[in-house]
Structure 1
Amino acid sequence: MWVLTIDQRASRRRGDRVPELLGALPGAGAPGVVLGFDRTVGDEVQGVLDDAPTVLDVVLRVARLGEWSVGVGVGPVDEPLPASTREGSGAAFVRAREAVERAKRRAGELPVAVVGDDGGSAAERAADAEAVLQLLASVAARRTDAGWEAVDLVAAGLSQRAAAARLGVSAQAVSQRVRASMWPEEAAARPLAARLLEEADVSGTGVSA
Structure 2
Amino acid sequence: MTDVAAASEALWQQLDQVETHSPFTALSGQLLLGVPRDASAAIDAILRTTRLNFCNIGLGIGPLYEPVPQDAELVDGRAVHRALGALEAAGHRGERVPICVSGPEEDIATGIEGLLRLLGQSIRTRSAAEWAVVDLMTPGVRGQQRAIAEALDITPQAVSAAIVRSGFNDEHDARAGLSRLLELADQA
TM category, shorter: 0.7 to 0.9
- Higher RCO by CA contacts (8 Å cutoff, separation 6 or greater): 1
Map 1:2-17; keep pairs closer than 5 Å: 15=4, 17=7
The count of residues paired between Structure 1 and Structure 2 equals 184
Higher helix share: 2
TM-score, normalisation: structure 1: 0.78
User: Which moves more between the two structures, 107-116 or 18-27?
Assistant: 18-27
CA distance in 1, matches of 2:4, 2:135: 28
1:153 aligned to which of 124, 131, 136: 136
Secondary structure of 2:187's partner? coil
Please tell me whether the aligned partners of residues 23 and 70 of structure 2 are also in contact (alpha carbons under 8 angstroms): no
Secondary structure of 2:115's partner? helix
RMSD: 2.3
Unaligned stretches of 5+ in structure 1? 1-12, 204-209
Unaligned stretches of 5+ in structure 2? none
Deviation at 1:137, TM superposition (A): 1.3
Map 1:34-183; keep pairs closer than 5 Å: 34-108=21-95, 110-117=97-104, 122-155=105-138, 157=141, 159-183=144-168
TM-score, normalisation: structure 2: 0.86
Of all paired residues, the percent bearing the same amino acid is 33
Secondary structure of 1:79's partner? coil
| Partner residue, 1:206 | none
Higher strand share: 1
Secondary structure of 1:72's partner? strand
CA distance in 2, matches of 1:143, 1:181: 6
